Amino acid sequence: MKKRQARITLYSTRNCSHCRRAKAFLQEHHIPFSEQDVERNRRAQLDFMRAGGRGVPLILIGDQPLQGFEPRQLQKALRQAGFDV
């Protein structure tokens, strides 16, 4: 039986190219995630700040924040969280 995987949240903005690349990476690897636009959604903005967000994208893997988009770093963090990437 596979262990329960962490919840993934991508904090982003509409015009962020790194955000689009992070989203495409998650989609290509069939990683379920929710996307929160910190420009349009006040609650998302508050959650983003609480998670220590300094810029977008901010990817939360469970409660582990990953700032920015670096594919190898994201892949490593996802594997550690139990995803087959």
Say what the pLDDT of residue 3 is: 55
Token readout for 74 is: 């994201």
Question: Which CATH topology does 8-69 take?
Answer: Glutaredoxin (3.40.30)
Segment 27-38, tens digit of pLDDT: 999 999 999 999
Give the pLDDT of residue 1. Answer: 39
Q: What is the CA radius of gyration of the chain?
A: 12
Read off the pLDDT of each residue in 39-55 and give the average, rounded to a whole number: 95
pLDDT tens-digit series, residues 3-25: 567 899 999 999 999 999 999 99
The pairing of beta strand 8-12 with beta strand 34-37: parallel
